[in-house]
Amino acid sequence: MAATVPKRIRESTADRAFLITIYIVLSLVVLAVIYPLIFIISSSLSSPAAVTSGRVWLWPVDISFSGYKALFNTPEILKGYGNSIFYTVVGTFISVVLTIMIAYPLSRRSFFGRNALMMIITFTMIFSGGLIPTYMVVKQLHLIDTRWALLIPNAIWVWQVIIARSFFKSSIPEELLEASEMDGCSDMRFIWSIVLPLSKPIIAVLVLMYAVGQWNAYFDALIYLKSADLFPLQLILRSIIIQNNSAGAMDAAKMVERQQLAELLKYSLIVVATLPVLVIYPFVQRHFVQGMLVGSIKG
Amino acid sequence: MRKHWQLHLLVIPPLLFFLIFKYYPMINAVLAFKDYNVIKGIWGSPWVGLQNFRLFFENPLFWTLVKNTILLSGYLLLAGFPIPIILALMINEVRSTKFKKFVQLVSFAPYFISTVVMVSMIMLFLAPRLGFANIALNFFGLESVNFLGEPGMFRSIYVWSDIWQTAGYSAVIYLAALAGIDPTLYEAAKVDGASRFQKIRHVDLPGLVPTIVIILILNVGNVMAIGFEKVYLLQNPLNLANSEIIATYVYSIGLLNANYSFATAVGLFNSVINLVLLVTVNGLAKRVTNNSIW
């Protein structure tokens, strides 16, 4: 992109100062973003005493894995982890399939009722019945306190439909459709053997966005679930870190030690809950950015 | 149409989804005008007209809730809106591709942290005794502060953590708009001897205006819809004076106290104000700048 700009032109001192300022500010931004993350990770790897006495500043102090050990000894956390994996896998599958089912027809110019349908779905972006009326519907359908409550009521995000639709519109050539219609190919067949294979990039974006959304979701679980057996990790996280419910019955002599461990556990828990997303993130960032752009351009 | 029946078949399940989970709740919102009775159900319950709304307007909490909602999202809008633009303009100036990618990679990352984790981090950092912020304060010989117990600090904590989390993500759209600016404009600016700053001022910024307007409309249209999740998680009895917003009130009155009709009325009031705001700002923007979302 920048290749056409001639490099040899000498920059004025003011310009260079300006540029240096920008580099400094951006470096500070990077530091400000990254420091809390490093701090959390370092704390999770330090000894309980080091964490609670505030000796951790940047790198781990007295490296220990006791936080992680405690975490793996807490059955509710493991259960929550398992549940979250289930919700993420199944929920993502349902969401992606439904999104493609509506986005593809919406991308076809010949599709009857396309504008009306588009209006119907975009209107839900700017107006909603509200929390209680939605809750009542879920209740009337007897989904309260079932796994379905986390998989179905928020399965389709309008924004993802718009992104997918723009993708199909711009990357499935009309000629391809005409040619296969000539050969007597049905719409289903066309979708299955031509559209889907050509749409791997957008499917990847949909999978990633929905998966991250499901993994991070807690609100639906908060309002629709009652049985602790069904709780996703985020809800467990809330009860342990935010509501501070980790302490069971405590032996007075061991209290300090326990308290320190409980404190450390919080850091490890944050790391473990965020890890799956942050590990894949650098590999897929490009796709996320692309997905966002496709959506925003066609808005 | 007959030829493409398969496409229509395909659309049915997603369409049902929207009808059942998005439109049916809109019908259920008649609850706002009823005195809900579990046994009689939504339709069997007696109509009460605007009584639920009147109850809300006369409620001593009414102005506090409206004020808290507007101040919180107003603050977020004022502080959070320009920062991604500035960030994008700065990233755009960087010539080293590696550094550029690195800044983007890092600043984008916090977006993927869940709300629960974000709030957990805030609580760990700002904890009264063991939190990093207080340890640092003590280190410099300052008194500890109970950050989350101070109502006056609630908004700043909310807003700046939000900026920390989303600025890099929001900057991406502006970066895309910047990449789309006609290169000849830059060359012309160069020929005219524009400095870097003048180039930003006279080429970059005008090029961003359409994007800025659209994002601004969307943000203003969300003023009343400010996220329930994070506010709710950050709330505690000490900061409630500033942290109780309409959305959290609907949750506690509606779901925790099972006062369905009243909570629906409050929620409906909120949605309608939001819709009115969106339509107004969109109309204004259309008239003033010729940009709008519809």
Residue B193: partners with Cβ closer than 8 Å, 6 or more residues away: none
pLDDT of A292 reads 66
Chain B residues touching residue A235 (CB < 8 angstroms): 116
Distance CA A183, CA A186 (A): 9
Work out the pLDDT band at A291, boundaries 50, 70, 90.
low
Q: What would the pLDDT profile of A109-123 be if each residue is shown by its tens digit?
A: 888 888 999 999 988
Interface of A with B in 66-125 (CB under 8 A): 98-99, 101-102, 104-105, 108, 110-113, 117, 120-121, 124
CB contact residues (below 8 A), chain B span 5-64, against chain A: 6-8, 10-11, 13-15, 17-18, 20-29, 31, 42
Q: Which amino acid is at A145?
A: D
- pLDDT (tens digit per residue) in A71-110: 888 888 889 999 999 999 999 999 999 999 999 999 888 8
- In this prediction, residue A250 carries a pLDDT of 46
CA–CA gap between residue A174 and residue A60 (Å, rounded)? 58
Count the Cβ atoms, other than its own, within 10 Å of residue A4: 9
Which residues does chain A have within 8 Å of residue B267's beta carbon, measured at their own beta carbons? 130-133
**Stretch 139-198 of chain B: residues touching chain A, C-beta under 8 Å:** 164, 168, 172-173, 176, 179, 183, 186, 190, 195-197
Confirm or reject contact between A196 and chain B (CB < 8 A). no
The pTM of the full predicted model, rounded to 2 decimals, is: 0.86
Cα dihedral sign for B67, B231, A149, B109? positive
> pLDDT band for position A299 (50/70/90)?
very low
Q: Residue B116 is nearest to which of A133, A237, A267, comparing CB atoms?
A: A237
- Give the chain A residue nearest B196 (alpha carbons): A15
Write down the residue that tokens 């504008």 correspond to.
A115
The answer on pLDDT for A25 being more than 90 is: yes
Quickly tell me which residue has 């919080």 as its tokens: A266
Residues of chain B with pLDDT under 70: 1-2
Say whether residue B271 is in contact with chain A using an 8 A CB cutoff.
Answer: yes
Distance between B60 CA and the closest CA of chain A, angstroms: 22
Q: Percentage of chain A surpassing pLDDT 70?
A: 88
d(CA B35, CA B260): 9
According to the model, what pLDDT value does residue A249 have?
41
| CA dihedral angle for residue B38, residue B41, residue B43, residue B48, rounded to 10 degrees | 0
